Structure 1
């Protein structure tokens, strides 16, 4: 024999009146009165800190949004010790001059939010190496080799590498 549980809703005139007037909405109580929307979860990401970086020694920054405005925060994961400060009135965090590593932000109100690992800086010389290697290889086989027809469409670093590769290869292999 199966047992069945039943739930009975009693629709009293008072409940029906609230539903009809829209006073009993399905929206949670913590909807922002200014925007009429639910608050977003705090989040943060790691970006290159252009202001504090030097060639060959990049620094990184944490960019955070949707944190509790005015709360104090701590950056976690810093090898040299802690850091932090107040969250802006807009709920944003901007903390820079960080070494490479994994980081997070902690506030009493929002808990721990993981920001991730610092991004790897983009290598600006891979194109240079590619252009240099192609030119060096072509000139080492034939001192009169012409540059590729699409040279003007190549990235500036690639073009610079190609020109330097031609000069070095001609100095080594050609009269």
Structure 2
């Protein structure tokens, strides 16, 4: 890898294990994330967003015990989110949005702290904190039944199309009621004159 450090181009034969921050975002990187990245045990911030990375998230990232921020958004990553990531107890920021992930979001206290924005744009994901529920079949996440597919079309904040239609309908009825009341009062005033 060729890297520019302090204005000078340097050739690195391997990643140094002493890095605490790696930001390689907004490049044209392609290919897979190498499993050897898990050897960076003291890395705190990893940003590989806005590239063309493919393949799965390496489960070895779960070995990066000091990791506080992980951003893999806007790539072409796929597969399930490895359960090993739930070992990242210091992880405070996670962004896996706009990829092709499928399956259930790992069940751990740490993953419950991230909101929907961390997973946006992954139509195959299900489970908390998303509103799309998973069904269980032999312990694995499966496709949803027809009646649950409506959840896929819910807005990010949890309001579905039914709630919006009911709100518009109620607003319409209240508007008509107020309009009729105003017209009736004007009619009475006109008669009194």
Q: Give the structure with higher Rg (CA).
A: 1
TM-score, normalized by the shorter chain, greater than 0.5 = no
If each structure's helix is expressed as a fraction of its own residues, which one has the higher value?
2
Band the TM-score falls in, shorter-chain normalisation: under 0.3
TM-score w.r.t. the length of structure 2 is: 0.26
